[in-house]
């Protein structure tokens, strides 16, 4: 029985490598499920729009500030930092966070996420003002969400109000119209005035065209943020794919392959030409090209110094930042 299980496991790993490329197993360590889950739930709860994986230019340092997500509603703009900590979490006397994993008996220290989020709020506000949007005082705010059910807060009374631990996170409910209740008001609302529709539209346009990480969605429904580097394949396919540049294309969708002959098939790739005047494209604006299914994509995940190689056939879609 053990021999059968071992053979099955080896076969499974081999098939995954054939379908997804030799680095896909390593890529799982960069899973962003928690971030996407938080974004999806917040949109459903508050009816706003969430922008994920922003890379906002910081004029003071000349670098880009990574922001997990920004929630935009009619009443406010909120920077949200997602920390998928597991174990016991406390705050040391110097303000750093201490996370102790009970199962692994491992302790790690992290910079104060609340301070980091406040810095991100200031950088984002400066960036938006440079692009022509000003806000009422207090319109921008920041929160730190701890969505991991295995995260347990030590001495929760010492934690800032900007922190939303798991037990509060699961209590969130859709906001009743014109009614604020309990801590939900304090965590995600503040009685702020609604912005004019024109400014609201401009804000959405700016954030939709702001620098952000490229996004990759695989067939197993996993999503990754990072940087698309290039395609790799036969010369004739590279000629066809020359048009796929981030300055010209905003999104690709990989369709089913058509088999040409034994061991040879082609993928239908739909791509959306980039339009800096508006967000997204209608179905009539999508263009098509075809390449061999064994064409590969070189992609560097966020937070990794390793370049990953994936089969184009394993990808559902890819969004490219300008």
| Domain co-membership, 263 together with 204 | no
| Domain co-membership, 139 together with 96 | yes
Report pLDDT for 47: 82
| Domain co-membership, 64 together with 144 | yes
- For residue 2, tell me if it sits in a domain: no
- Judged on CB neighbours under 10 Å (0-12, 13-18, 19+), 119 is middle
Last residue of a domain, one of 192, 208, 224: 208
Last residue of a domain, one of 208, 234, 261: 208
Global confidence as pTM = 0.79
pLDDT band, very low/low/confident/very high, at 59 (cuts 50, 70, 90): confident
- For residue 9, tell me if it sits in a domain: no
In 3D space, the residue among 56, 38, 41, 35 whose CA is nearest the CA of residue 140 turns out to be 56
- For residue 5, tell me if it sits in a domain: no
Q: In the chain, how many domains are there?
A: 2
pLDDT of 227-249, one tens digit each? 999 999 999 999 999 999 998 99
| Domain co-membership, 91 together with 177 | yes
pLDDT of 18-33, one tens digit each? 444 444 444 444 457 8
Answer with the residue of higher pLDDT: 81 or 305: 81
What is the side-by-side strand order in the sheet with 287-292?
A: 287-292, 264-273, 249-261, 315-319, 214-218, 223-232, 296-301, 308-311
Report pLDDT for 196: 56
Structure tokens at 223: 């999503």
Question: For residues 48 and 77, what is the distance between their CA atoms, to the nearest angstrom?
Answer: 10
pLDDT over 70, % of the chain: 76
pLDDT band, very low/low/confident/very high, at 60 (cuts 50, 70, 90): confident
16 pLDDT more than 80: no
- For residue 59, tell me if it sits in a domain: yes
Three-state helix/strand/coil letters over the chain? CHHHHHHHHHHHHHHHHHHHCCCHHHHHHHCCHHHHHHHHHHHHHHCCEEEEEEEEEECCCCEEEEEEEEEECCCCEEEEEECCCCEEEEECCCCCEEEEECCCCEEEEECCHHHHHHHHHHHHHHHHHHCCCCCCCCCEEEEEECCCCCEEECCHHHCCCCEECHHHHCCCCCCCCCCCCHHHHHHHCCCCCCCCHHHHHHHHHHHHCCCECEEEEECCCCEEEEEEEEEECCHHHHHHHHHCCCCCEEEEEEEEEEEEECCEEEEEEEEEECCCCCCCCCHHHCEEEEEECCCEEEEEECCCCCCEEEEHHHEEEEECCC
Domain residues for 194?
Answer: 31-208
pLDDT, mean of residues 82-104: 89
pLDDT, mean of residues 167-178: 72
150 pLDDT more than 80: yes
pLDDT band, very low/low/confident/very high, at 177 (cuts 50, 70, 90): very low
| Average pLDDT over the chain, rounded to an integer | 81
Structure tokens at 284: 């009539």
- For residue 10, tell me if it sits in a domain: no
| Domain co-membership, 177 together with 253 | no
| Domain co-membership, 73 together with 128 | yes
Question: For residues 230 and 232, what is the distance between their CA atoms, to the nearest angstrom?
Answer: 7
In 3D space, the residue among 96, 49, 52, 88 whose CA is nearest the CA of residue 72 turns out to be 49
Last residue of a domain, one of 208, 230, 258: 208
Report pLDDT for 275: 77
What CATH number does residue 84 fall under? 3.40.1350
| Domain co-membership, 203 together with 299 | no
- For residue 149, tell me if it sits in a domain: yes
| Domain co-membership, 220 together with 314 | yes
| Domain co-membership, 38 together with 128 | yes
Report pLDDT for 215: 94
Report pLDDT for 109: 94
| Domain co-membership, 105 together with 199 | yes
- For residue 7, tell me if it sits in a domain: no
pLDDT, mean of residues 92-99: 92
272 pLDDT more than 80: yes
Report pLDDT for 260: 57
Report pLDDT for 303: 83
In 3D space, the residue among 294, 299, 143, 279 whose CA is nearest the CA of residue 230 turns out to be 299
| Domain co-membership, 131 together with 270 | no
- For residue 3, tell me if it sits in a domain: no
| Domain co-membership, 175 together with 235 | no
Report pLDDT for 123: 96
């Amino acid at each position: 029985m053990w021999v059968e299980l071992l053979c099955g496991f080896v076969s499974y790993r081999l098939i995954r490598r054939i379908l997804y490329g030799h680095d896909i197993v390593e890529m799982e360590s960069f899973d962003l499920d928690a971030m996407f889950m938080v974004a999806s739930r917040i949109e459903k709860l508050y009816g706003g729009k969430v922008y994920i994986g922003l890379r906002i230019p910081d004029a003071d340092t000349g670098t880009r500030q990574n922001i997990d997500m920004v929630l935009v509603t009619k009443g406010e703009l909120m920077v949200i930092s997602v920390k998928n900590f597991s174990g016991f979490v406390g705050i040391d006397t110097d303000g750093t966070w201490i996370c102790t994993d009970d199962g692994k008996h491992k302790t790690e220290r992290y910079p104060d996420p609340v301070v980091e989020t406040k810095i991100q709020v200031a950088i984002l506000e400066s960036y938006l003002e440079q692009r022509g949007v000003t806000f009422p005082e207090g319109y921008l705010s920041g929160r730190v969400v701890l969505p991991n059910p295995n995260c347990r807060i030590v001495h929760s009374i010492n934690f800032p109000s900007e922190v939303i631990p798991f037990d509060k996170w699961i209590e969130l409910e859709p906001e009743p119209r014109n009614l604020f209740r309990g801590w939900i008001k304090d965590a995600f609302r503040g009685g702020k005035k609604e912005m004019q529709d024109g400014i609201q539209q401009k804000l959405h346009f700016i954030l939709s065209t702001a620098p952000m990480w490229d996004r990759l969605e695989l067939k197993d429904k996993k999503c990754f943020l990072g940087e698309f580097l290039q395609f790799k394949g036969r010369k004739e396919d590279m000629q066809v794919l020359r048009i796929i540049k981030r300055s010209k294309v905003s999104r690709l969708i990989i369709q089913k392959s058509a088999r040409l002959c034994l061991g040879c098939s082609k993928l239908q790739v739909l791509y959306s030409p980039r339009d800096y005047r508006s967000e997204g494209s209608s179905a009539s604006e999508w263009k098509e090209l075809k390449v061999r299914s064994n064409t590969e994509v070189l992609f560097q995940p966020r937070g990794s110094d390793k370049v990953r190689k994936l089969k184009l056939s394993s990808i559902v879609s890819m969004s490219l930042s300008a």
